[in-house]
Amino acid sequence: MRLYEYEAKEIFQKYGLSIPRGKIVESAEEARRFASQIEGPVVIKPQVSAKKRGKAGAIRFASNPEEAFRQSQSMLGTRFDREKVSTLLVEEKIEVDKELYAAMTIDYSFLRPVAIISPFGGMDVEELAHEKPEMVKKVRFSISTGPIEREYEELVTIFNQEERIVMKEVLQKLCRIFRDYDAEMVEINPLALTKHGKVVALDAFLNVDDDSLFRHPDLVRPRGMSREEFEFEQSLKEKKWKYIEMDPDGEIGILSSGAGITMAILDLIKMHGGRPANFLDTAQMNAEGIYNAFSLFAGNTKLRVLLVNIFAGLNRCDDLAMGIKRYLQEHPLRMPLVVRMIGYREDEGKSILKEINVETIRSLEDSVEKVIQIAKGAA
């Protein structure tokens, strides 16, 4: 879960990292008031989940309160990468001598955490890492101890003598945040070095591992979505369901169990020219689960057909068939239904569905062909 910049900055500050004086505002008037308190130029930044705001021109500068008002007004209510801008962070503009970079994340190839620093921060650090890798220092370290003395020394060799001391402190603080917040990534880019040799975090990125959120319940709240969307998301999480809307103009809904097989079905459908609309991947299915799952698709008026894939290894076809039967008896389904069913107690499951005139198909490929025929025929 990605925190907003201002949330990450609050945490940074708690851990002793300097951040610019700033305020969260929801109106242009508030922005004007804060800018006049600052008595100098300010930076105005939308608080959204997308990265690369700078490159997209979404970070604005204002030299006086009036300009701060105008800039804020032009940003509030607009959309940035589909997310509505409803809050802005207004900050004093820091006089920057140099822009540095510091981050801690996980090296998925080596299965270890890694610290990354560079004397050249800013918007183009990814390109720099690619073109001049010697300008970006990466050191992997132990998760249980954090970087040891020798590793810190190695990291800061890329900086000059005075910078080394402050950078080591920054890294030590970042490491504490990284561990305490179960971070997938914590990043300061740019990290400003002022003329007085002070370091200030101009931006803050903190991505907390979703699976660790039981340790950070205070961080769980809607970001970039409505209350209803958030509650829906949370309810899916509780059920351990993964529901993804793929294509608003798609025609085929997919209800399946297991990420791998669900991806295989999506591949097959697209390979044969079909358009999947959404899918639900239930980790484990039973009669109750499949009954509830149907309700997710039933209300979608764009769906032309629903494909249900059941491969009963640990669960039972007849049990799942009962769940489907119960749902369909209570709620007539608007769209045609194709059930692929194979596995434990398959014949029993088949006859249960036959009672309510639902045919089952044994082969995965045949079931995919069938849904595509239906989707195309109805078009």
Q: Which of 14, 55, 112, 176 binds another protein (CB under 8 A)?
A: 112
Q: Which of 172, 100, 109, 181 is nearest to 140 (CA)?
A: 109
Spatial contact of 336 and 357, defined as CB atoms under 8 Å apart: no
Comparison of 148 and 165: residue with beta carbon closer to another protein: 148
- How far is it, in rounded angstroms, from Cα 182 to Cα 209? 6
Q: Does 106 bind another protein (CB under 8 A)?
A: yes
Q: Which of 113, 121, 190, 224 binds another protein (CB under 8 A)?
A: 113
- How far is it, in rounded angstroms, from Cα 36 to Cα 30? 10
Side chain identity at 133, as an amino acid letter? Answer: P
The secondary structure element, H or E, covering residue 199 is: strand 199-201
Cβ 68 to another protein, closest distance in Å? 33
Q: Does 261 bind another protein (CB under 8 A)?
A: yes
Comparison of 153 and 267: residue with beta carbon closer to another protein: 267
Question: Mask: binding to another protein, 315-354, rule CB under 8 A, as x and -?
Answer: ---------------------------x-x----------
Which residue has 């920054």 as its token pair? Answer: 170
Q: Does 148 bind another protein (CB under 8 A)?
A: no
Query: Looking only at residues 191 through 210 of this chain, which bind another protein when binding is defined by CB under 8 A?
Result: 209-210
Sheet of strand 88-92, all strands in order from the earlier edge strand to the far edge: 22-25, 88-92, 42-46, 60-62
Comparison of 148 and 314: residue with beta carbon closer to another protein: 314
Comparison of 72 and 257: residue with beta carbon closer to another protein: 257
In the chain, what is the straight-line distance between the N-terminal and C-terminal CA atoms, in Å? Answer: 39
Q: Which of 142, 234, 295, 351 binds another protein (CB under 8 A)?
A: 142
Residue 82 in tokens: 């589909």
Q: Does 157 bind another protein (CB under 8 A)?
A: no
Q: What is the DSSP string of 24-78?
A: EESSHHHHHHHHHHHTS-EEEEE--S-S-TTTTT--EEESSHHHHHHHHHHHTT-
Going by DSSP bridges, is the β-strand pair 183-193/137-140 parallel, antiparallel, or unpaired? unpaired
Q: Does 301 bind another protein (CB under 8 A)?
A: no
Comparison of 219 and 246: residue with beta carbon closer to another protein: 246
Q: Which of 166, 219, 333, 364 binds another protein (CB under 8 A)?
A: 364
- How far is it, in rounded angstroms, from Cα 63 to Cα 128? 31
Q: Does 1 bind another protein (CB under 8 A)?
A: no
Q: Which of 152, 159, 294, 311 binds another protein (CB under 8 A)?
A: 311
Q: Which residues would be at the binding site for another protein (CB under 8 A)?
A: 106, 108-109, 111-113, 142-144, 179, 182, 184, 209-212, 214-215, 240, 242, 244, 246, 257-264, 266-271, 276, 281, 283, 311, 313-314, 342, 344, 364-365
